Chains A and B, each alone.
Chain A
């Protein structure tokens, strides 16, 4: 089954454990500045929103890459940057409508979420289940369930 990261900002407390886990997984150090997932805090509204690549089926970044350095991992569906091919031209960062692929000045390559080969570190590290890794075909399941509960107005014995 293909799985996707499913983010529920309503559960996020803004702790950044996901950023730490991501950076450790990918860089071998605790370094949120190199995280592929980023938590945004909207102070005045008290909202905390983790955000990362959604792995578009026809990914703009992949289409735009002039050296075909971004390829689909057929097992996970992730669009992965092949560092040995990437020339750091950054065209993909312009092409991506969501800003989730970014240049890493220390490596001279771009970086993006690769779903950790099907076992994302961010989801494992999240203490509130704001980030989960679920069936790609049913990322709406929780929302559907919540609305289903509200929609059922049928009488019940109290």
Chain B
């Protein structure tokens, strides 16, 4: 109940599939999705394994609320050792694939080994089989989904796939389902490509049962009312999407610009939510055409856009004239502000390509911006870029590199290394803006201090989705804290990290947390599954998951020295806005964080902490 209680184990080397019962002891300790998938991974792989070797495993995991009527209850997480980072990777996606997997009767799929030649997995309720994918290899995400549906003669099948980026080893390749929803970060698609696994197609007709239907319906309906009545989830996100943040964060003085050299972008208003809704002078239409919900979501923040047909990127290319996944704040920032490009249509095109070929627009945009800095400082020459004038602000360079990187061609193959490897290769490791090898998302930690600690301690490398203290520091959710203060941020980060791990593991979207706390989530989880799930138990489970991830990273070879930020953020003062003159004061927050976590001064969980969390 809640859980399907069944996992599918696929050995790609041997070409076998088998059903196993879900380990219910682990389910009671790690809930589902992110937490439970991580437990399986930690138990089954050597933390020191090469992420791209057949000995790494790739897990698709749903949560107990996936495939229920809980708002946003359609999510799944891909867990593996990340190709970009070598750390634990868990990338979460919406769309419709996750719910379909649950409807087919599976809590998770564990892929192990490496197929001798390309394959895709077809799951039809209790039946699963590996099918040849030679005819799909080299195809985009969009073509692969189309071809699988045609081949199976089933338009209702849901497809999760890699594009060419994942095949070519782009280090931040993602796994895309339903054309433009992605398990985006850390190179989970790169791992999938290394296994010669092109796609997973699922059709589920068994449905989902839960422990207490009437109790659940009451709890989920109450919680939906909370989302509808909240200004962010009820109005801001459906109307503007996450792009509602563009002008807000720019005014806060926390908008990384030109590889974090600046902290405010003069072109922000041209690439904002408001700009997406404006009528274009060229064709009288707006970039944004609709908002779209993922499965079960009553917020519906997704952006769907159409590119101006006269824009240079799509002239005579009708395959890009239809509506597709539009710019979310992170993509608009990474592709735009961070590269200094303010051409909304060019950013939308680059975002389309990221979806079409399956790569993370954050890491891609951030790597392009690092390359632009290398180019402008002379460390990278026009000969080396294959003739591309890689200057900040060049839309042409951005869109050209999107297409090249997505296919692993030309200088795009080097952009596909990610900014850490690229900057090291060209002799300027200090230009890499990230943590544990993963590029920063869209908040500069000089202007929002808590995000510095968030990034430094994030188990999957720099990430805003492990503890979004922006909610408190900028938006005042659940209560307002000063973005420029460091006091109290250690506790704030820990609280956000633990709660987020619980949200993620339930199978719902973290965007609900703009309105929901665990007070809203726990009753839904409790009605869905056995075990008595209180708020306290959810928090403890989140903390347990956080520590489990941490232990994996320590065993993989990471140390406290990796819990840091690039020199630029720690020593170069912000040059404008409210944070002018500030650096990130990580040193003031990190020791307190370790202490609050119950870790040693070297960032290792103490025996007492492990015992308390039953680890």
Contacts and interface: CB of A to CB of B under 8 A. Distances in A.
B323 to A, nearest CB: 4
Given A29-B207, A34-B205, A16 B296 contact: yes
Nearest to A30: B208
A13 B293 contact: yes
B291 A15 contact: no
Place the interface of chain B in its size category: 35 or more
Interface string A1-28: 0000000000001111100110110011
Given A45-B322, A46-B323, A48-B292, A17 B298 contact: yes
A15 B300 contact: yes
Contacts of A47: 290
B170 interface: no
Given A30-B208, A31-B208, A15 B69 contact: no
A74 interface: no
Contacts of A30: 67-69, 103, 207-210
Contacts of A118: none
A46 B96 CA distance: 16
A21 B224 CA distance: 14
A32 interface: yes
B365 interface: no
Nearest to A39: B293
A88 interface: no
Contacts of B294: 15
Contacts, number: 83
Interface in B195-214: 204-210, 213
A25 B329 CA distance: 38
Contacts of A46: 289-290, 292, 304, 306, 323
A21 B296 CA distance: 11
Contacts of B468: none
Interface string B203-244: 011111110010001000000100010000000001000000
A4 to B, nearest CB: 24
Contacts of B289: 46
Nearest to A33: B205
A28 B213 CA distance: 9
A44 interface: yes
A126 to B, nearest CB: 9
A16 B228 CA distance: 17
Interface in B77-104: 96, 99, 103
Nearest to A104: B205
Contacts of A17: 69, 296, 298
Interface in A25-59: 27-34, 43-48
Interface string B424-461: 00000000000000000000000000000000000000
A34 B210 CA distance: 17
A85 to B, nearest CB: 25
Interface in B295-321: 295-298, 300, 304, 306
* Highest count of chain A CB atoms <10 Å: which of B224, B238, B297: B297
Contacts of A33: 103, 156, 204-205, 207
A16 B296 CA distance: 6
B548 interface: no
B324 interface: yes
Residue among A21, A32, A34, A106 with most chain B CB within 10 A: A32
A45 B304 CA distance: 9
A125 interface: yes
B207 A34 contact: yes
Given A13-B297, A15-B294, A16-B296, 17 more contacts: A13-B293, A13-B300, A16-B293, A20-B68, A24-B213, A27-B207, A29-B209, A30-B103, A30-B210, A31-B206, A32-B103, A33-B205, A46-B289, A46-B292, A48-B292, A127-B71, A127-B224
9 contacts: A13-B293, A15-B293, A16-B293, A20-B69, A30-B207, A32-B99, A34-B207, A44-B324, A48-B292
The 5 closest A-B pairs by CB, nearest first: A31-B207, A44-B322, A15-B293, A46-B323, A13-B300
